[in-house]
Every structure is written in structure tokens, then in C-alpha cells.
Structure 1
Amino acid sequence: MKRTNELIVALAVMAVIIVVTWGLFAVGDNMPGGVTPFSKDVYQLHNVILAVVTVIGVLVFTAMFTSIVVHRKSKDHEPAKFSHSTAAEITWTAIPVLILVIMAIPATRVLIDMEDTGGADINIKVTGYQWLWQYEYLEDGVSIYSTLDRESNRARQIGSGVDVRTVENYLLEVDNRLVLPTNTKIRFLLTSGDVIHSWWVPDLGWKRDAIPGMVNEAWTLIEEEGVYRGQCAELCGKDHGFMPIVVEAVSPEEYRQWIESRSSQQAADNADEPADVQQVSAADELAANAEQG
């Protein structure tokens, strides 16, 4: 009877652990599902593997604690006298290997998809600087700089007198957002002009380092319109915490209108630029080309 009661308690503990774990999922205490096919694949893979390891953990710890309680010395249990079991050793080696192989198959597929940057409709060069981002739309010749918005920048100053809780999206808003079209494959070419940075927007499902002298690639295809926020994820100096990333996903029609507007504005700004500044810029470009060539 006592053994039956102990078994019931062990099963109850297992049930509680499983219910609590999946209850946390239900209230959103989990990684974001994201808005791209890749991020959703990662999310589903994460949930499946978490479920597998949760079940394994519950079984292992339940067996361990049940054995500790049921076979404790105070109950006069005699320990087994065998030294080893070949069958048991093969079993506890083969089962984990099989589980890892089964989990590796979908994980490998997701990793292969993540690295497949071919067939992109838009190519964007992302350059990190201390402490801002430059985005260059290579097909359209549009270039923008994105830095912490003025309101957040003012509020973060010591002695500003501004309650940061009153600032909407404090430290997560920029002056110029990265505007992208939905349902379009976009390739990113990431590098840095000074130190190592890392471009990370959780809803896109990936993070890439921006390294001086190197170009890393990544891609995305955003399925839902909206605003998605991220940050530099590599310590890059004293203002590392003040270079957010904001992606605004719009319809392809709105994106094309935005590109045309930025192109016109950029052309007007270049036309208004003093001649001596243009000459300096041209000289700098020639010098850079000479160094590369």
C-alpha cells in the first residue's frame, strides 16, 4: 500500500511539472514566434525540443527521487550486488544518441534554410558604427543613417529631469527606421566601420555580427506588416546600449513609394551640397578606390 502511495505521489509530481511548464508557454513566457518563416521554424523546433527534454527531465528526476525515497536506508533495503550490466550500458548510450539524431534532422534543415541567401529580391548593406547604423539599399542607391531618436537621447542624459517611464519605446526608437516590404526575400550584407557590432531583431529570428573587414550574410522574408525592434547585441563601447534597431515592414506598394520619396530627397540634398564638400567626397572616394585597387 505504501509503495502504491509513493508511486501516486511521484506521478503527481510529474504531472505538476508538465502542467507548470506548458502553463508558462500559455501566458507567453517563451521566446517570440517571430514574423518570418525562419523565425517560426525556429520557434516550433524550440518548442518540440523543449517538450522532449522536459519529459526526459521529469522521467529522470522522478525515477531518481523515487529511488532515493523508496530505497532509503531507514527502510532496511538491501543494495544490489552487481558491478555492471552490458545491456544497461548499451541501452543508456543508444537511447540518447537516437534522441539526438532525431532532433538533429529538423535542426539541420532549419540551419540550411538560414544560410540560403540566394534568390533575394532586395539587397541591403548594413554597416555598424559607434553608435549608429547605416543602411544602403543597393538596387535603388538609397542610403540612410539610423541613430537613437532625440527624445530617448535627451531622457538618458544625467540630470535631464525627464522621467524615462514617460518616454514611449525608451531606448528602442530611432530617427530613421529601416523600411522593408512584406512577402519579399531580402538579403543583408553586414559589416562594420570600426569595432564589432551585432545586428539583432528578435522577431526576425536571427542575429549576425558586423565585423570590420568582413561581410556576413543573412536573409529575411517578413510576412506581417508592423514595427519590430532590436538592439546591438555585441558590447561595442560606452554607448553600446544606445544604438537600437527599428524595422518597419510595409506593403510592397508603400515600400516603393518610400524608396521613391527617399531617392528624390537624397538627390535634392546632394544638389544642395556645397561644391567644395562634393569635391572632398569625390577625392575621398578616389583615394579609397586607389587603396583597394
Structure 2
Amino acid sequence: MSVLARSAVTMLSAVSASAAWAAQSSINLQTPVTSVAAEIYDMHTLMMVICLVIFVAVFGVMFWSVFHHRKSKGAVAAHFHENTLVEIAWTVVPVLILLGMAYPATKTVIAMKDTSNPDITIKATGYQWKWGYDYIKGEGEGIKFVSNLSTPLDQIKGQAAKGDNYLLEVDNPVVVPVGKKVRLLLTANDVIHAWWVPALGVKQDAIPGFIRDAWFRADKEGVFRGNCAELCGKDHGFMPIEVHVLSAEKYAAWVADQQGKMAATTEDPNKEWALAELVAKGEQVFAANCAACHQADGKGIPPAFPPLDGAAIVQGDKAEQIKVVMEGRAGTAMAAFGKQLSDTDIAAVITYTRNAWSNQTGEAIQPAEIAAAHN
């Protein structure tokens, strides 16, 4: 083995050892649990080592030269220019370094883009400020839910001690089986979001009107957390991602449980709901989807987020409010909930706002009216 080869092996061994140690510390990247994440982690460490070596070499020579050739020692600067050998060296060496760094980077990027032959396909849609998930292929097909931040409001306002997973916990996590290839189809309903879970090696923008894809295959069970990594508005920091990786048996049980819940909650679109039933259900929907902007007391945060308490849109023609809730308002943070919520949920939340606080219209909006508005 040549001296160069032995040096390379020694450097790689040192990189692997340092990476193994650093992975256990709290100041490094998250411990990878997929092959792509492991490649990203090793490449990051290798690049850091290369940059450190270059830094030490360049500044070592510079400081040595400054110290040993200082004026107080009587040093006289040499005068030369157009040294062909030096010019070739400082051109060829950086090119070789960049090529050496480009190879592992290109290899990793190609691996990140290979979304072929997935076992499960999940569509993730970014909303302001939550994620919607649809299982569209593989075991669990047909399951869909919305994932909201579940950190209690009193922790966010500083009225209670912060939990271990502060701002990184959700009510409905993504659940996948260990060892299975999961393809993610990413899009957004309003502005650009980004689905980022470092331990899985996935960071992909979700862009309105486009479908981007990514994939991961978790090598071990566990709970892995991330965030929206694109500045997407007022509550950008309140849009976490939580992924639960389960064994095949536990995943099958979760699928059965979710399908059972979906069957149990399937509602008759022609059912006539009582006003009190709609108000009670609407209060829950409002708390999960609207209170962040319009506030629990309906006062809003003017001028960006107008109040609903006493608002003309709420006390006026119900058709106009239905249209705004379903389609949103262009140029504002008001999202289009027609694609996010069921007809019953939309009917309930509108009924709630029309009969909460000082609003007492006495009107009950039925799911059939929302279905008619869709058409």
C-alpha cells in the first residue's frame, strides 16, 4: 500500500471514530437512522475534516512565514512573479480537492433522489401551520389525517414548565414500519413549506402547485422529530413533524386501529345536526385550526388577523362566510379549509363562530350546505 493510500485509510478511520463519538453528543447532527442520513452525516464530517486540514495548513504556513521572516530579523522580501510551477500547483491542488469532495456529495444526492419501488407512499401537504397526510399506496392505503402541534398553550406562553419535546410534538404523528421504503410526495396548499427530519435524511420543499418527492427507510424503531424548514409565516416555528417507526406487527395494529376509527367516524352527509351539537364540535375544530390567528376569545390580532367576535362576515350572509372558509382570502394568511376539513367540520366551525362570544345568530349550518357549496 502506498504512503498516500495509507494516509487516506488513516484519515477515514479517524473520521469514523470521531463521528461515532460525536453522534453521542448533544452538539452534533442527529444520530442517523437511514442509509442516506448516515451518508450525509459521514460526508459532513469528512468535509469538516478536509476544511480543518486546509485551514491548519494554510494558516500554519502563513503564521510561520510571518514569524520567521519578520522585519525585526532583517528579512528582505524576495521579488519574483510568473512562477509557472506555483501557478500550476495552486490550480491543480484545489481542483483535485474539489473533485474528491464532489464524488461523495454526488453519490449521496443520487441516492436521495432514488424514490423507485417504494413499499408505502404518503402524500404530505403543508398548510399554515400544520401538515396533512394521505397514505395513498401500500399497507394503510386510504388513511388520512391532519397533524397539529400539541404542545400546551400554557407552555408556549411561559405559564408552565416546558416539556421534553417542547414545540416538537404533534397530535397525530406519521407512523411507518421499520425496514420499509417510504416515498413522500410533498406539496403545499398556500405558501412554500419544507418537510425536514434530520435523522431520516429528508429535507424537501413543499411548493404549491408542484409535487416533489423524497424517501427514507428507517433501520430501527423509534420516534424521530423535525420541523418545517421554510419560513412560512407567523407560526412557522409551530409546525413540527413527528415520525413513529414501528415493528411490522405494531404497524399493522396501528393501521387496523386507524381504519376502524375512520369507519366509525364516517358521517351521513345528509344528517341534520342540532345547533348544540354543531357548536360543541365546532369549538374543537376552531381550537385546532383557527384559534392561533383569531384567538380563543375571537378578538384576533388586528390588522393581520381580524376579529371574529362581532365581525360583519360572521353576522352577515352565511353564504359569504362559507365561501371564505372554504376558499380562503387571496393575499392574506386565511387558508382555504375546503381541502383540509370535512364538510361536517366546516359546517360545525362556521356554526360555532356564528353563535360564540357576542355572536348569537341562532343559525345552524348543515354539512349538506357545505357539500352543495363544493359543487
> How far apart are the structure 2 equivalents of 1:42 and 1:54?
18
> How far apart are the structure 2 equivalents of 1:284 and 1:231?
34
Gap change, CA 1:229 and 1:273, over 3 Å in 2: farther
**Matching residue of 2:145:** 144
Q: How does 1:37-76 map to 2 (within 5 A)?
A: 37-76=35-74
> How far apart are the structure 1 equivalents of 2:215 and 2:154?
34
Q: Does 1:258 align with 2:254?
A: yes
Aligned-residue sequence identity (percent) comes to: 45
Q: Does 1:233 align with 2:229?
A: yes
Listed as ranges, the gaps of 5+ residues in structure 1 are 1-17, 288-293
Shift of 1:94: 0.2
Given that residues 132 and 146 in structure 2 are in contact (C-alpha distance below 8 angstroms), is that contact kept between their aligned partners in structure 1? Answer: yes
RMSD (Å) for aligned C-alpha atoms: 2.2
Higher mean C-alpha deviation, range 179-188 or range 235-244: 235-244
CA offsets 1:60-117 (integer angstroms, 9 cap, x no match): 1100000011101111011112123011100110011011112211211111000010
Higher strand share: 1
**Matching residue of 2:126:** 128
Gap change, CA 1:135 and 1:112, over 3 Å in 2: same
Which amino acid in the other structure matches residue 146 of structure 1? S
Shift of 1:275: 3.5
Q: Does 1:156 align with 2:161?
A: no
**Matching residue of 1:219:** 215
Gap change, CA 1:265 and 1:217, over 3 Å in 2: same
> How far apart are the structure 2 equivalents of 1:210 and 1:173?
20
Gap change, CA 1:135 and 1:280, over 3 Å in 2: farther
Q: Which has the higher contact order (CA 8 A, sep 6+)?
A: 1
CA offsets 1:208-233 (integer angstroms, 9 cap, x no match): 11111111100000011111111111
In structure 2, which of residues 167, 172, 182 is the aligned counterpart of residue 171 of structure 1?
A: 167
Given that residues 188 and 206 in structure 2 are in contact (C-alpha distance below 8 angstroms), is that contact kept between their aligned partners in structure 1? Answer: yes
> How far apart are the structure 1 equivalents of 2:237 and 2:132?
17
Given that residues 130 and 194 in structure 1 are in contact (C-alpha distance below 8 angstroms), is that contact kept between their aligned partners in structure 2? Answer: yes
> How far apart are the structure 2 equivalents of 1:273 and 1:113?
46
Gap change, CA 1:212 and 1:284, over 3 Å in 2: farther
> How far apart are the structure 2 equivalents of 1:122 and 1:25?
33
Listed as ranges, the gaps of 5+ residues in structure 2 are 1-13, 273-342, 344-366
Shift of 1:281: 6.5
Given that residues 164 and 170 in structure 1 are in contact (C-alpha distance below 8 angstroms), is that contact kept between their aligned partners in structure 2? Answer: no
Which amino acid in the other structure matches residue 174 of structure 2? L
**TM-score normalized by structure 2?**
0.65
3-state SS in 2 of match to 1:138: strand
> How far apart are the structure 1 equivalents of 2:87 and 2:372?
72
Given that residues 149 and 171 in structure 2 are in contact (C-alpha distance below 8 angstroms), is that contact kept between their aligned partners in structure 1? Answer: yes
Gap change, CA 1:280 and 1:227, over 3 Å in 2: farther
Shift of 1:30: 2.4
> How far apart are the structure 1 equivalents of 2:266 and 2:241?
26
Given that residues 156 and 164 in structure 1 are in contact (C-alpha distance below 8 angstroms), is that contact kept between their aligned partners in structure 2? Answer: no
> How far apart are the structure 2 equivalents of 1:261 and 1:66?
69
Which amino acid in the other structure matches residue 163 of structure 1? A
3-state SS in 2 of match to 1:229: strand
**TM-score normalized by structure 1?**
0.83
Q: How does 1:277-292 map to 2 (within 5 A)?
A: 277=343, 279=368, 287=375
Shift of 1:282: 5.5
Which amino acid in the other structure matches residue 219 of structure 1? W
> How far apart are the structure 1 equivalents of 2:76 and 2:181?
66
Q: How many residue pairs get matched? A: 261
3-state SS in 2 of match to 1:34: coil
Higher helix share: 1
Given that residues 23 and 31 in structure 2 are in contact (C-alpha distance below 8 angstroms), is that contact kept between their aligned partners in structure 1? Answer: no
> How far apart are the structure 2 equivalents of 1:91 and 1:133?
52
3-state SS in 2 of match to 1:249: strand
In structure 1, which of residues 92, 98, 117 is the aligned counterpart of residue 90 of structure 2?
A: 92
